Homo-oligomer: A and B are copies of this chain.
């Protein structure tokens, strides 16, 4: 592992100085290599699929694991999309002059070496490597054991493509073992890894958070709320609630709890009926149970549960401040939305909710780097340090200060 770390650090020093067009050529080269090596990638994937079936993985997990021509093309196209993004490195984030004539510039530079620990989806290998490369970072990837052969084959293609254009192939490396202890070792390599990105279920993220000596981009869960205010437009409220919950129930930006202002209680029956008719289980407080016999009683646990499924908890609250208090006490600091025509209520909500993303008259499902215009994201951070919300290529950078003088000495 130390050898891996040293190679990554060396590659990172080189990559930090590589101009944008060369990185983009490497990304396109990697895309071409993925296409050229599709047969060997599918052969490797077949091994993982056979092992997965023998192990009795669920159909859903096997589907996540599967690579076919369409999915390989998807990965390759994804690399080309990242190549099209503007270079995040070297941007002058701020500059100013001091009275003594010094010019000070804050300039974006890569973070260094990024460790990515993920589970079964093999496509993360290509997606994460691309974002790291674009932002001038070296990547050390540690995929799940189920997708080991697939990820290795993808990695071989990426490295071949990168090397073909003259960049260091150690820009992306994969931990060459599925031994769980390797993760523990990775999490203590403070000299060689600058940030860890865990991508996977709650237990993986919790383990990484517990053991890591390295800073994290962390996303534990998305317990997202939509609050329908007394001053909401009723048609808009119906449309937004349905979309926020039901468009995709398995993504982290899906609403898990609906809060309805007591002043909007007239809307409650139709909001609940819409959800029930869309196939959503509704777990409600007493007021919500009263509007429809199909509503199931919500327990205290429901207010703190990320269902990732067609289930919603519904509660009547006494105004916007009560909604904010409920969210700050029970939520996960991810994404919350208010539906209202009242700018004052919106302001209270947007400022009061201590969450990475706060929406006014928009669906919580917009919590996504692509929807934000960032091109692609490596995850959504619910932490407060460095990156918060979608983590795209700009968030994979840090900065340095350049102090430009003409011989100034500091007096005194």
Which residues of B lie under 8 Å from residue A400 when comparing CB positions? 355-358, 388-389
A55 adjacent to chain B (CB < 8 Å): no
CB <8 Å contact, A384 and B111: yes
Interface of A is mostly: mixed
Q: How many identical chains are in the complex? A: 2
A274 adjacent to chain B (CB < 8 Å): no
Q: Nearest B residue to A242 by beta-carbon distance?
A: B409
Encode A318-331 as 1/0 by CB contact (under 8 A) with B: 00000000001000
CB <8 Å contact, B409 and A243: yes
Which residues of B lie under 8 Å from residue A215 when comparing CB positions? 215, 383, 385
CB <8 Å contact, A13 and B358: no
- In whole Å, how far is A172's beta carbon from the nearest beta carbon of chain B? 20
A207 adjacent to chain B (CB < 8 Å): no
**A385 with B362: in contact, given A243-B409, A243-B410, A410-B371 (CB under 8 Å)?**
no
In the assembled complex, the Cα of A407 lies from the Cα of B385 at a distance in Å of 31
CB <8 Å contact, B104 and A385: no
Encode A95-118 as 1/0 by CB contact (under 8 A) with B: 010100010100000011000000
CB <8 Å contact, B403 and A360: yes
Which residues of B lie under 8 Å from residue A195 when comparing CB positions? 384-385
Which residues of A are at the interface with B, using a C-beta cutoff of 8 A? 13, 16-17, 96, 98, 102, 104, 111-112, 194-195, 215, 233, 236, 239-240, 242-244, 247, 328, 350-352, 354-363, 365-366, 368, 371-373, 383-386, 388-389, 398-410, 412
Can you give 20 A-B contacts (C-beta < 8 A)? Answer: A13-B354, A98-B373, A102-B362, A104-B372, A104-B373, A111-B384, A112-B384, A215-B215, A236-B407, A239-B407, A240-B407, A243-B409, A243-B410, A247-B409, A355-B400, A360-B403, A361-B408, A366-B410, A385-B385, A388-B398
